[in-house]
A and B are shown apart, each in its own frame.
Chain A
Amino acid sequence: MGAPRRAMARVRSFYKKPPLDADLEAEIAAHIELAIEENIQHGLTPLEARRQALIRFGGIDLAKDQQRAARGLMKLDILLQDLRYTLRTLSRDRAFTLVAILILALGIGANIAVFSVVNTLLLRPLPFPSSQQLVRIVEKDPKAGESSMTYTADATQDFQQQNRSFQSVSGYFAFTGPNNFKLSGNSQPVPATGILVAEGFFETLGVEPSAGRLFRPEEFVHNAQPTALLSYPFWKRRFGGDRSIIGQTVDLSDKTDLNNKSVTVVGVLPETFDFGAVFSPGAKIDLFVPYIMDDFRDDGNDLALVGRLKQGLTLAQAQNEADLLFPQFYFEHKHPEYGKGYTAHLTGLKEYVSGKLRRSLIVLWCAVGTIMLIVCVNLSNLLLARAAARTKEFAMRTALGASRARIVRQILTESLVLSLFGAVLGLGLAFVVVTWLAHQGSIALPLLGSLRIDGAAFAWTLVVALAASLFIGFAPGIRLSMGNIQEALKDSGPGTGEGKGHQRTRSALVITEIALACVLLVGAGLLLRSFMRVLDVDLGFQPSRAAAVSVDYDDGGNVANRAAIWQEVVRRASMIPGVDAAGISDNLPMSRNRSWGIAAKGEQKQNAQDFIPVFVYIVSPGYLKAMGMHLKEGRDFSWDDIVNNRSVVVLNQTVARKLWPGQDPIGRIALAGGAEAQVIGMIADVHESSAEDNAGAQMYLPSTKQFGPEGSYLVVRSNLPPATLAMSVVRTLREINPGQSATEFKPIQGLVDHATSPRRFFVLLVGIFAGLGLLLAALGIYGVIAYSVTQRTQEIGIRMALGATRSNVVGSVLSRTLRLALIGIAAGAGASLLVSRAIAALLFNTAPTDPIAFAAMVLLIGSVALVAGYIPARRASRINPMVALRNN
């Protein structure tokens, strides 16, 4: 009952030590005086009275100590003592301290950085209120990219009206390419990327504007006064964060219809809302405009749906309802003959965004955890070596009355101090890495922009540092406290008695280190091999040497004008010196996608099942060549096709094989995009969304009356460096259209790199960790061998005096090194076999037992071990027998 009160009193007294000590001093003095006085009254001489009083009192210092122990925090006092002592010894041994702190900082820093990534992508909820209620709705079997993951305006409205599970359902237009808008003001028009969002989109997510307001319902009806919301970064960049822009109009034109519209800016979204981070990793979104359902009724599937579940409803309940509702929905109310029957797969938004990354992230986390283990083992080893050198000091302290617990506590204090310094430095390192990563827009990982060191990361740092200090201090603490005092004190020199046990512990630690490094290296090797296999994939086009630029033009909505403009652009671009080929497409591979249906025209009328979904590209003649695609059969488009409005189509092999299995597709008639078209060519498959997926079905259509493009990219193939090329191409475009916006010139390789960036990111990180592990293992080997050489100086001296040659000495040290390395490698290879099976799902065309990865690991660790062992071996061979024998 008095416990908390007493604890408080103790803590208080710890801080008020000097006044309390003075008080006690005075009290004791009074005590002695009173005793003396009484003794004198009893007839003793003053001298004798004083003597008696002191005897009766007992040891004054002992009494003080007892009183202090009773009143205050003795433990803390001891801790402070240990701390002071530790700081003193560590500052004496500066080289050791620096190396130890540096190693710890690397390990802890890597751990914090990876933790922050894992925390941001996996652990932390999405940056929306009650984000666990948010659900992404996609088709169950997404066969054709975004088009089968989206719904028509009609189906969306049906679901909005009929469902009972959601507070609200909304969506966004899924087929937005970068820079689909042009913002013109008083200066050069600038491209901007805008997303069309359905009514209630921000409300569903729970996003509040940081200034102004969200869209109103009346802004989602046909012919409504056009409005726009700005993203925070765009508002800052373009309008300098000027609040007065709200309520004003800006001139905004859509790439597909170039009529400038006066659009009212109604608000600015908060800084925390990053559309790209959640829905389209790596994309920067500048503004949002209303998706007006009535304008999109005939356009097919184009809404990506997000819903917010009602309070207390589970995903499974909502899924059950969706399974009942979606098959009943017609594609279009106006055309019931198009059929009905959707499916819906409901996924928590968080799971949808980062679920695919879970496995990679966990592997990354494990890798960095392994690094931390290696760091700890290494440090343990270093401390052990130091402890061995300090055996005598500790024995002396024990002899002088220090308890074993006190000695272990001293060692733990040391490891704690080292860990904490390491943690501080590691935090600094992690901060740099994390800040850098957060600004890597080019890595297509979701939520990366919101990466930061937060409270959770701090807590994690503390956990890691404390665990590390316990782990590091454990082995040396045990060994030291087990030591025999007498032996240690009697031992006059190194190399006797004590050394053996230490040496065995240290060897075991080094073997552990090597084994762990093996596992890391094999993991990194397998991922690297997979990455190289991904890069080796024949994409079906040649990304190097090609670049794309977005073209602005004004055709007044006239097909003939557009044909003329396209022809002029391609002709002029092809004439630029150094340009091999040029062509226009409204869509680039590995960026956005959209799909239509295609079927072979047969005797009977086709029904819905005969159509297969294909990706669509509206292209100009020359585009296939500019992209470096391989025309297998037939011919490319010609300007004649376009001028004469011929209905022709180029297919890829996958489509041709499906529609006309085993037959020559050229000259046949297909039903593509709602019209008949003659097949004039067939190209090799192109990897549409990523190098790792199978190539999908694609068709290429000329830009004619039937098939209107959505935007246009000029692709040029050239040997010129991109900078030079960009200048001349943009100049040419400006000559054709002075309104051409200052848009960026994108190397096609960049698109491919973007698509492979998550894999590159993981390979890079795991590779760095493996390298770090290797370095630490090498340090460990070096430390143990060098120490054993020092310990055996005398022995080696004697051997050499007895006729051992230098190479004998080197050989014996190296063979010891190799023995350690081989045991470690054997253990590591075994562990790697288990681990590689666990990461098999992350590999691409690489077996988990890939012999090259394993062989490379053995070779690498073996040679690093040899180098690490050779340095002390050479030192051993230089030992002068006379000097070695005379010492001691």
Chain B
Amino acid sequence: MGESKLDLLQGTLDLMVLKTLAAMGPQHGYGIARRIEQASGDEVLLNQGTIYASLVRLQQRGWIDAEWGISDNNRKAKFYSITRGGRKQLTKDAAHWQRLSDVMLRVLSMSAEGGN
């Protein structure tokens, strides 16, 4: 159900896009959106359209490149690929997220113990 799905934190979508491109190689917008949905186990509430703001932001920062190409089923689509700078950024941001979620986990588990 819609209500039970997670709202995306600001800035997290950019990181997901980078990771998807790093893992999957060049993808078009629809492909990226689908991969994120699938990878998150359909937990994420994603209006697929919002991905385009993220894409243009990443592109302007020079972390991804874009090129018109032909999809597997012979459709013209814009393909995005991660750049070297993008990979560096991904490593940095992923580490940051890892730390953040570790801390969150620890804090939350502590408060659960305290409750007992």
Interface-central residue, A24, A35, A37, A67, by most chain B CB under 10 Å:
A67
Known contacts A24-B52, A30-B75; A35 and B30 CB within 8 A of each other: yes
Query: Which chain A residues lie closer than 8 Å to B71 at the CB level?
Result: 30, 34
B interface residues, tally (CB under 8 Å): 27
Interface of B is mostly: helix
Interface size class of A (residues with CB under 8 A): 20 to 34
Chain A positions within 8 Å of B48 at CB level:
31, 35, 56-58
Query: What is the predominant secondary structure among interface residues of chain A facing chain B?
Result: helix
Q: What is the bound-complex CA distance between A23 and B68, given in angstroms?
A: 10
Task: Give the docked Cα–Cα distance between A247 and B75 (Å).
Answer: 86
Decide yes or no: A66 and B76 within 8 Å by CB, A5-B61, A71-B60 being known contacts: no
**B:30-83 near A, CB below 8 Å:** 30-31, 33-34, 47-50, 52-57, 59-63, 71, 73, 75-78
A31–B50 CB distance below 8 A: no
Contact of A70 among B31, B53, B78 (CB under 8 A): B53
Closest approach, in angstroms, between the C-beta of B82 and any C-beta of chain A?
15
Partner of B28, one of A5, A24, A34: A34
Which residues from chain B contact A69 at a C-beta distance below 8 Å? 53
Closest Cβ of chain B: how far from A15's Cβ, in Å? 14
Which A residue sits closest to B54, measured CB to CB? Answer: A70
Residues of B with C-beta under 8 A to A2:
60-63
Q: How far is the CA of A28 from the CA of B73 in the complex (A)?
A: 17
**In the complex, how many angstroms separate the beta carbon of A90 from the nearest chain B beta carbon?**
35
B50 touches A30 (CB 8 A): no
Contact between A66 and B52, CB atoms less than 8 A apart: yes
Residues of B within 8 A of A38 (CB): 34
Give complex CA distance A58, B78 in Å: 19
Question: Do the beta carbons of A28 and B49 come within 8 Å of each other?
Answer: yes
Task: State which residues 11-44 of B face A: CB under 8 Å.
Answer: 28-31, 33-34
User: Cβ of A57: which chain B residues have Cβ within 8 Å of it?
Assistant: 47-49
Q: Which residue of A lies closest to B61 (CB)?
A: A2
Q: Quick one: closest A residue to B72, CB to CB?
A: A34
A41-58 to B contact mask, C-beta < 8 Å, 1/0: 000000000000000111
Contacting residue for A30 out of B30, B33, B47, B63, CB 8 A: B30
The answer on a CB contact under 8 Å between B47 and A58 is yes
Pair A27/B75 contact, Cβ less than 8 Å: no
Do residues A9 and B60 form an inter-chain contact, with CB atoms below 8 A?
Answer: yes
How distant is B93 from chain A, measured CB to nearest CB, in Å? 13
Q: Given the complex, which residues of A lie within 8 Å of B75, measured CB to CB?
A: 30, 33-34, 37
Q: Which of B29, B34, B49, B54 has the most CB of A within 10 A?
A: B49
The complex places the Cα of A370 from the Cα of B68 at a distance, in Å, of 62
Q: How far is the CA of A2 from the CA of B28 in the complex (A)?
A: 24
Given A28-B52, A31-B48, A67-B53, A10-B76 contact (CB < 8 Å): no
Is A852 part of the binding interface, using a Cβ–Cβ cutoff of 8 Å?
no
A59 within 8 A of B: yes
- Assess whether B49 is in contact with A62, with CB atoms less than 8 Å apart: yes
A72 → B minimal CB distance (Å): 9
Are A63's CB and B29's CB within 8 A? no
A2 to B64, CA, bound (A): 13
A:6-36 near B, CB below 8 Å: 6, 9-10, 13, 23-24, 26-28, 30-31, 33-35
Chain B residues near A26 (CB, 8 Å)?
76, 78
Chain B residues with Cβ under 8 A from A727's Cβ?
none
Let me know if A67 and B56 touch, CB within 8 A: yes
A62 to B47, CA, bound (A): 10
Given the known interface contacts A66-B50, A67-B53, the answer about A30 and B60 at a Cβ–Cβ threshold of 8 Å is no
8 Å CB contact of B49 from A6, A23, A59: A59
A30 in contact with B61 given A60-B49, A67-B53 (CB within 8 Å) = no
From B55, which residue of chain A is reached at the shortest CB distance? A67
What's the nearest-Cβ distance from chain A to residue B48, in Å? Answer: 5
Chain B residues with CB below 8 A from A23, complex form: 78
What are the 5 tightest A-B residue pairs by CB atom distance, in nearest-first order?
A58-B47, A63-B49, A66-B53, A9-B60, A70-B53
Q: A2-B62, A27-B29, A31-B77 provided; 19 other pairs, C-beta below 8 A? A: A2-B60, A5-B60, A27-B77, A30-B28, A30-B29, A30-B78, A31-B33, A34-B31, A35-B48, A37-B75, A57-B47, A57-B49, A58-B48, A59-B47, A60-B49, A62-B49, A63-B53, A67-B55, A70-B54
Write 17 A-B pairs (CB below 8 A) sorted by A numbering.
A2-B63, A5-B61, A26-B76, A27-B77, A30-B78, A31-B48, A33-B75, A34-B28, A34-B30, A34-B73, A34-B75, A38-B34, A56-B48, A63-B49, A63-B53, A69-B53, A70-B54
Q: B residues engaging A (CB < 8 A)? A: 28-31, 33-34, 47-50, 52-57, 59-63, 71, 73, 75-78
